[in-house]
Amino acid sequence: MRIQTEPYRYLLDSHWSWIQPLFNFVYRPAFTRDMKTGGQYYSAALFNAILSHSVRWCKTEPGMEQLLAPFNEGSSFFQTAVTNVFENLRTGRSKIPSVQSLLLLSAQECGRGNRTQAWLYSGMAFRLIDDMGMCIDGQRYTDSAKLSAEDIEIRNRLFWSCFFWDKLIALYFGRAPVLQNSHISPPRVIMDDTAETELWMPHGLSSPDYPPRQAHSISCFIQMCGLAEILNQVLIQFYGPTCDLSSSKALACALEQSSKMRVWWRDLPEHLKINVGALPRQAPPSHIVTLNCLYHTINILLHRTLLRLSSSNRAPSDINIDQNPLIQCISSAASIIALFDLFVRTFGDGHVVLSLAYSLYTATSILLLELQANPRNPQRYTMERLSYCLSALERVKKTNPVIATASELIHKELEALGLDIHAYTTLPNATGDRTGQSLHQPTFVPLSTGSQSSAQKTSSVPDHRNFVFMDACYLDNDDLTGGMDYDILDMSPSAFEAFTQIEPLSTTMNPGFDFF
């Protein structure tokens, strides 16, 4: 088999463009070198796992149907990967490519909605890295283990890839995180940073209007892993089966993690930070958009916990602005919608990864809370955004079938409220057409400070008040002095109490196994 002929090259390139920068499962230089030489960092199982995972994104592209026809529309890659990886496990020859294969198989089954398979594949990968000693800093044992600098680099990357994936799959399916970081874990440092300066192009898109961008793959992955450490604490402390959200300890822990989130955002390099108050015409590389969306997703998960811990007789104006959980939840939800819309206008729906779709689901859960807090008088802009989100979730089911569960949960809640989402016009560009216009340009505007008059604050806002004031920390505005106009957040104590008492949608897409 000539592995450098079509469709292999095309599928490999798709993987390096859309999947690798986000998850960093495979160290590309070692894989491509050993693919030619038969070295230890290449295997048939891993090769076919990469091809199988890439088919998911490329299947509908022009010409791919004919290229994939000899391979049973791509399913042959998956079957070969599974057969080979289990043969390696049976004979005890499991090495690093086996771990990488299992991670890719887990991600693929996760997107399909095969929860048990996804969980088992990931679990085997995590057990293998523990068995191989990858959960311990390899630099401490280079002499006894006879590890080269490349070996240590690959092992460190793979540990943090597993750590990140462990948190995501635990979040998706309501499981407890498995991997924990400690003082003996590999450092969150990547020595080979050549991928940082590589040029990134949206593979498979024919638009000539998207110039090559610097990938920033390494800094994005390192920041993603730092965010995963916060998510790990959020899952354990607030969404586990034994947590006690009513205790003072839970409140103190929530405030501590909230502070860490703000520090993470403050220290995020500017080239990775997307200002939703001034969105670019085109999205940056896809993994950077996903990084920003995951930040806002975790921010919502954390602050909706704080929202429940808030005293029911306190109005939003009584709470410190930068710690106001209601502002944090609503502004992060608005940010996710804006970022998702930017992504699909630039790249289309076909390359929306599950983490991005899950972020949109999380934002939708906050919109639903708004409706549940005031079901008799739903705001039109909330219903329009909800309609947009549901339409988007419906479209991305083609590449992420598991998201259908999340969509069904939302529809059931709307039916219980007696609201017909189809009675509201969806926002512009709800089809994901990359040539469409932006999602209501006036929608996302910065918070105003007390030095401005009320007229100045709302001078650019349409009469129907179709907008959301953003938390200033997302817009790089550190001079917030108070006295802001809350607008849609300026609600009565009774409405605020409704927000604190309503049970939010499940965070998981795994009915029947719901710790959260």
pLDDT tens digits for range 424-460:
655 444 334 443 334 443 333 333 223 333 333 333 3
Among all chains, which residue has been given the structure tokens 């040029």?
199
pLDDT-derived band at 221, boundaries 50, 70, 90: very high
pTM recorded for the entire structure:
0.86
Phi-psi sector, 176: left (phi>0), alpha (psi -120 to 50), beta: beta
Evaluate the CA torsion angle 56, 62, 65, 68 in order and state its sign.
negative
Banded model confidence at residue 419, pLDDT cuts 50, 70, 90? confident
Q: Let me know if 326 is exposed, middle or buried by CB neighbors in 10 A (0-12, 13-18, 19+).
A: buried
Residues with Cβ < 8 Å from 369, sequence gap 6 or more?
Answer: 304, 329, 499, 502, 504
Q: CB neighbours of 458 closer than 8 A, spacing ≥ 6?
A: 485, 487
Residue 506's closest CA among 239, 217, 184? 239
**How do 199-200 and 213-214 pair as beta strands?**
antiparallel
The Cα-based distances of 22 to 244, 285, 307, 435, 462 in angstroms read: 33, 10, 31, 25, 38
With b for 16 or more beta-carbon neighbours within 10 A and e for fewer, the 220-247 pattern comes to bbbbbbbbbbbbbbbbbbbbbeebeeee
What Cα–Cα distance (Å) separates residue 19 from each residue in 84, 131, 193, 515? 22, 26, 18, 29
* Conformation bin of residue 441: beta by default, left when phi > 0, alpha when psi is -120 to 50: alpha
Q: Count Cβ neighbours within 10 Å for each residue of 366-381 and write b for 16 or more, e otherwise.
A: bbbbbbbbbeeebbeb
**What is the structure's pLDDT at 143?**
62
Look at residues 295, 286, 28, 12 and name the one whose alpha carbon lies nearest to residue 157: 28
Cis peptide before 7 (omega within 30 of 0): yes
- Quick check: 19 pLDDT over 70? yes
Confidence at residue 483, expressed as pLDDT on a 0 to 100 scale? 29
Supply φ then ψ for residue 469, to 5 degrees. Answer: -80, 135
Q: How confident is the model at residue 499, as a pLDDT?
A: 64
Q: How confident is the model at residue 274 (pLDDT cuts 50, 70, 90)?
A: very high
Task: Report, as an integer, the average pLDDT of 349-369.
Answer: 93
Site of tokens 């463009």: 17
**What pLDDT, on a 0 to 100 scale, did the predictor assign at position 266?**
94
Using CA atoms, how far apart are residues 465 and 53, in angstroms rounded to an integer?
44
Categorize the per-residue pLDDT at 489 as very low, low, confident or very high, splitting at 50, 70 and 90: very low
Cβ proximity of 439 and 388 under 8 Å: yes
CA-based end-to-end distance of the chain: 47
How far apart are the C-alpha atoms of 405 and 403, rounded to whole Å? 5
Q: What is the pLDDT of residues 463-474, one digit of tens each?
A: 323 333 343 443
Judge whether residue 374 has pLDDT over 90: no
Domain ranges within the chain, ordered by starting residue = 8-189, 213-501
Tens-place pLDDT, residues 435-445 = 333 444 333 33
Question: Which are the contacts of 296, defined by CB distance < 8 A and separation ≥ 6?
Answer: 332, 333, 335, 336, 339, 359, 363
What average pLDDT does the segment 300-311 reach? 81
Q: Reply yes or no on whether the pLDDT at 299 is more than 50.
A: yes
Position 320 pLDDT exceeds 80: no
Residue 12 and residue 48 in contact, taking contact as beta carbons nearer than 8 Å: no
Residues 6+ apart with CB under 8 A from 464: 380, 381
Whether the CB-CB separation of 138 and 145 falls below 8 Å is answered with yes
Q: Which two tokens stand for residue 289?
A: 């958009």
Q: Kind and range of the H or E element at 199?
A: strand 199-200
| Each residue's pLDDT tens digit, 79-134 | 999 999 999 999 988 899 999 999 999 999 999 999 999 999 999 999 999 999 99
Measuring CA to CA, how many Å separate 135 from each of 41, 156, 179, 225? 19, 8, 9, 15
What's residue 259's pLDDT? 92
Q: Which of 1, 8, 89 is nearest to 49 (CA)?
A: 8
One DSSP character per residue, 405-436 reads HHHHHHHHHHHHHT--GGGSPPPTTTT--TTS
